[in-house]
Chains A and B, each alone.
Chain A
């Protein structure tokens, strides 16, 4: 789903809440995913202006889970290392966004380059398939 106006952040949260619940995650895990999505969706809105959130249920052997991708063609993250280390600060900045989302999910992949946009993929796994 597209992320271009401020109200899309709420829409993103709702979509993830529904998808995560459907995938079988418990309330705490659903809240984690919703919060991570909120952080990453807001990043798109704030730094790239527009982007997209794509999600799907995934399977790997006995495990099954959810994968959410946040893609934009914004300015890209110049210093990814610094962004990942950034802790909670009172100043504006990527702040909690990336490291926060990383802590709340099982896997996170970031592909970015200055001027070339950003793609962030997060995954969270559940127990055995079908449960």
Chain B
């Protein structure tokens, strides 16, 4: 593992994620915000947050694997959604992708994403190798 998980008792996360991570080695990978588009650029799962969330986290994993890593190498992710009511479904699907604790994490409700059909976007950084 190329990073350390920062643990402390004075402050606690509000869900199943790490409070902070610190790079100890390896390469620093930045991942573009991933959205639920297919290879033709079409938005998948219009109106379906679960379908979009699955595609987005799969895309994040694809980028990590293409860089020689995997989800366990993530230092931090930011999940942007357009409707707070979608969060329980997003949290459930997100947890299914991560075997243990999530990386350091931020959840933000934004007014919209690059296209109006997009319901979720996830970006992150990882330490690879």
Does chain A bind chain B? no
Binding site for B on A (CB under 8 A): none
Binding site for A on B (CB under 8 A): none
